[in-house]
């Protein structure tokens, strides 16, 4: 019987990373059985199901339906469900993506059952231990047998942490494979029409605890967003996380702010592609704007994706600095930028080659 690879996804950022890997393995000359697990960490249709349809992902073979909860509750529920599944299926490799709770849960279960583990997007580091994602990254990379890195700095971090060189593979960014494959579907005119946008506009995506959990932080962020909306229309597809706090702080009171429900992948990137500037605290959006050439202001003190600054359009900013940074971006207009090496649409194929060779 051909070897079995089980892909574990759980949250919106995982899906565009997994799609090109699953597709490339399916097209490989060596037959590999594949099972796709959706843990249900993101369970809202707008945060998960729509991605499967738009990205051409197969329907999940298993949906654990764990839902929300504290970090411990969510991670524990995923571990219990995956342990049963892995014992039944005995996969030859477990493939995990990114840095969400489902990722570290799958890594722990695979390690305890002595199943080889592959981590796609290994080696990213913010060096900020207050971020739950940073803990997830470090633990997952420590347990992984195959570590697929998106950039040279990620390779260096893994080497500095003592990961053997033969386990590390610089493959590029599979999320960019997905972006480039769907580039023609990112319809700026349709986005403008759908949201009644004329002239320049900005897009914001903000959900991290440091920006939205505390009432004082939410109030300061809303003040910043109002100042941006004084300059141009601000469109804000609002993640459920933190929505109540931002609305309570008066987010929608400014006439220049359009608060939207979360958008599908194609709709969101059509909106981003036509924007003058993006204000975010998302890791993936830093990468997508880098390739699309859209100026990105990241409201964080650090980033695990510094290549988006050295090669892309990204800048780290404080909340207080955002309004004048937007003013600078608007004054400067379009600027030249470089796309990081190997962000060329073929990362999924490079990952599949290593993965299949390792298990076949």
Q: Active-site residues: which are they? A: 207
Grouping H, G, I as helix, E, B as strand and the rest as coil, residue 194 is helix
d(CA 125, CA 142): 13
- Contact (Cβ atoms closer than 8 angstroms) between residue 187 and residue 142: no
- Contact (Cβ atoms closer than 8 angstroms) between residue 257 and residue 232: no
- Contact (Cβ atoms closer than 8 angstroms) between residue 202 and residue 232: yes
In DSSP terms, 260 is beta-bridged to 237
DSSP state of 138: H
d(CA 312, CA 290): 4
Secondary structure (DSSP) of 227-266: HHHTTSEEEEE--STTHHHHHHTTGGGSTTEEEE----HH
d(CA 278, CA 34): 37
Q: Structure tokens of 191?
A: 């986005």
Residues 6+ apart with CB under 8 A from 194: 267
- Contact (Cβ atoms closer than 8 angstroms) between residue 158 and residue 149: yes
Residues 6+ apart with CB under 8 A from 196: none
CA distances from 71 to 105, 209, 265, 357, 360 (A): 11, 13, 26, 35, 35
d(CA 100, CA 41): 9
Q: Structure tokens of 83?
A: 């342990």
In DSSP terms, 234 is beta-bridged to 202, 257
CB atoms inside a 10 Å sphere around CB 162: 7
d(CA 152, CA 208): 26
- Contact (Cβ atoms closer than 8 angstroms) between residue 322 and residue 297: yes
């Amino acid at each position: 019987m051909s070897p079995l690879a089980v892909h574990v996804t759980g949250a919106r950022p995982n899906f565009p990373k997994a799609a090109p890997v699953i597709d490339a393995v399916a097209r490989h000359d060596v037959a590999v059985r594949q099972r796709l697990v959706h843990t249900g960490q993101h369970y809202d249709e707008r945060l998960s199901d729509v991605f499967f349809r738009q990205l051409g992902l197969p329907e999940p073979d298993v949906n654990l339906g764990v839902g929300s909860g504290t970090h411990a509750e969510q991670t524990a529920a995923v571990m219990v469900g995956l342990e049963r599944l892995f014992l039944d299926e005995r996969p030859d490799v477990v493939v995990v993506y990114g840095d969400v709770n489902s990722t570290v849960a799958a890594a722990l279960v695979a390690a305890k059952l002595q199943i080889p583990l592959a981590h796609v997007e290994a080696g990213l580091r913010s060096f900020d231990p207050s971020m739950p994602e940073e803990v997830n990254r470090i633990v997952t990379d420590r347990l992984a047998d195959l570590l697929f890195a998106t950039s040279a700095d990620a390779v260096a971090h893994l080497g500095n942490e003592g990961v053997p060189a033969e386990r590390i593979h610089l493959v590029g960014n599979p999320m960019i494979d997905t972006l480039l494959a769907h580039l023609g579907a990112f319809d700026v005119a349709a986005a403008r029409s759908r949201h009644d946008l004329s002239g320049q506009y900005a897009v914001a995506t903000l959900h991290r605890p440091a920006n939205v959990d505390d009432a004082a932080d939410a109030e300061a962020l809303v003040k910043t967003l109002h100042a941006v909306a004084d300059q141009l229309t601000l469109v804000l597809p609002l993640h459920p996380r933190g929505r109540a706090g931002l609305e309570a702080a008066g987010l929608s009171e400014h006439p220049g702010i359009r608060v939207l429900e979360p958008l599908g992948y194609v709709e969101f990137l059509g909106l981003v592609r036509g924007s003058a500037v993006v204000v975010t605290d998302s890791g993936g959006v830093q990468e997508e704007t880098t390739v699309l050439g859209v100026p990105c202001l990241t409201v964080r003190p650090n980033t695990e994706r510094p290549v988006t600054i050295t090669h892309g359009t990204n800048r780290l900013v404080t909340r207080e600095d955002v309004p004048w940074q937007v003013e600078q971006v608007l004054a400067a207009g379009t600027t030249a930028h470089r796309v990081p090496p190997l962000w060329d649409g073929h990362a999924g194929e490079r990952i599949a080659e290593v993965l299949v060779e390792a298990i076949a």
